Amino acid sequence: MTQIDDIKLSNAQIAWRAAQDIDDGAYVNLGIGFPEMVARYQREGCQAIYHTENGILDFGAPPAPGEEDWDLINAGKKAVTLNPGASFFHHADSFAMVRGGHLDVAILGAYEVAETGDLANWSTGRGGVPAVGGAMDLVHGAKRVAVITDHLTKKGDPKLVSKCSLPLTGVGCVTRVYTSLAVVDIEDGHFVLREKLPAISLDDLQALTGATLHTTDTVGDLIVPEL
């Protein structure tokens, strides 16, 4: 089998690939941590409008080191800047936007994603954040939910599985997963492989996946820049 660590995408490259599918003018919420990187890689000529649960719409790039205004932070407590026309609002209004279906896309991390679209991305276990935060609202309020994640856990177990073993964030909510090895859609309760790294065979990829990868006539090459 191919040595996975030698070929897999970095977190930045996974974030870049996910960013390529965001439409111009889309209202987007990014999960805390790794998903926040997606905002760095907007397509040329494409300007998404980023929302954060603590009450900002249309925040911009991170400030330069030493120029942070710590009254301007996202939900992950990271300093942000503001684009012209950005707005502030109460935390409750922010969640009304989420629950009211006003977000086009939510991009989250994951511990596990099931072939049915179920998502487990929180844990109260050792080292886990002791609350799910806004993720449960996001996965059922956003019009499209995507996940970015490594294909495997740190122990080498599949993150794409037939059934989640961890507490669920949402049921049947995920439609696309961007991993370190592939791009996988969820359709009719199945994983459908859309793109894979050219360096890994379909058989090897399947061996690293905890449920059947269905294919159509064409599986594209997952090509990303060096970042």
Instruction: State the catalytic residues.
Output: 53
- Residue 215: what are its φ and ψ, rounded to 5°? -130, 155
Instruction: Kindly tell me the sign of the dihedral angle through the C-alpha atoms of 28, 35, 172, 178.
Output: positive
Whole-number Å distance between alpha carbons of 119 and 121? 6
Q: How far is CA 103 from CA 72, 117, 138, 210, 211, in A?
A: 21, 19, 9, 31, 30
- Residue 51: what are its φ and ψ, rounded to 5°? -115, 140
Residue 45 backbone class (left: φ over 0; alpha: ψ -120 to 50; beta: rest): left
Render the burial of 185-217: b for 16+ CB within 10 Å, e for the rest: bbeeeebbbbbbbeebeeeebeebbbbebeeee
Collapsing DSSP to helix, strand or coil, 142 comes out as: coil
